[in-house]
Amino acid sequence: MIYVFLLITFVFITTTCKAISTKTYKIETPLLEGQNSITIALISDLHSTIFGKDQTILIDKIKNINPDLILLSGDIFDDVISATGTQLLLEGIAGTSPIYYVTGNHEYWSNNIQAIRDELTSYGVIIMSDNYEIIEINNNKVIIAGIEDPDKKIRETPDYDQNDSMENAFRELDEMSLYKILIAHRPEMIENYKKYSFNLVLSGHTHGGQVRIPLILNGLYAPDQGIFPKYAGGIYTHGNLTHIISRGLSINPRLPRIFNPPELVIIVIESSE
């Protein structure tokens, strides 16, 4: 009887962990002026998962947020699963807000990275590749920066050096007193990101640690961190730097999410003045 109970419990937990959870973080900064805020929808680790007919559940959730920015922090495509889910998402959100993207490891693992870039560009997505842009949102100028996944070196450009590339691209930001956002797929590389003057880093990659026990275990396992990862998902503070890690949207039947539903992250940045 106990085995039947455990089986029913397991099925219940894994089934209920397939509905999208929405997590909102609010951040205050003196670098924004006036009463205008900036709302960001962070999408990470979709792996082409489809929610509802033609991706409508996810698309509607994003549109209901009415974000000023949509940021894609890697592994939006998958190296095994058909790109249909990703294509449906991009088609559904194209033109709603500026969309910025950085690569994840699975885009490189596909060995089809240039076709992925071309497809993203066709939907109006701005691809960030160890560079930054200064944009104006709601009467405030902010900096959006993004870095390549380090697997670029293995899968595309053998002489790629991420540390040198970041230094060349971002050291000059130290002189700019604007709010600075970095999109970077891998959270475990936070020590590299802390070398620069970013105010907010947005990551994914961990899938929330796959298994969570609320108030006890934030994550059981994450890629490149192993068992009991330090950065499984949520919000972390490093001095003046805020690091938000999405638990991702992928649903993989081989790796059930337990107490860890797929997550759409909303970040609201407000003036502290």
pLDDT at res. 37: 95
CA 230 – CA 223 distance, rounded (Å): 11
pLDDT by position in tens, the chain (length 273): 553 333 333 444 444 468 999 999 999 999 998 888 999 999 999 999 999 999 999 999 999 999 999 999 999 999 999 999 999 999 999 999 999 999 999 999 999 999 999 999 999 999 999 999 999 999 999 999 999 999 999 999 999 999 999 999 999 999 999 999 999 999 999 999 999 999 999 999 999 999 999 989 999 999 999 999 999 999 999 999 999 999 999 998 778 999 999 999 999 999 997
Is residue 237 within 8 Å of residue 229, measured between CB atoms?
Answer: no
What are the residue ranges spanned by the domains of the chain? Answer: 22-271
Which tokens belong to 149?
């996944």
pLDDT at res. 18: 82
Is residue 205 within 8 Å of residue 250, measured between CB atoms?
Answer: no
pLDDT at res. 38: 98
pLDDT at res. 229: 98
Is residue 102 within 8 Å of residue 202, measured between CB atoms?
Answer: no
Continuous H helices in 156-246 = 162-170, 190-193
CA 75 – CA 105 distance, rounded (Å): 7
Is residue 62 within 8 Å of residue 41, measured between CB atoms?
Answer: yes
pLDDT at res. 253: 77
pLDDT at res. 196: 98
CATH architecture of 22-271: 4-Layer Sandwich (3.60)
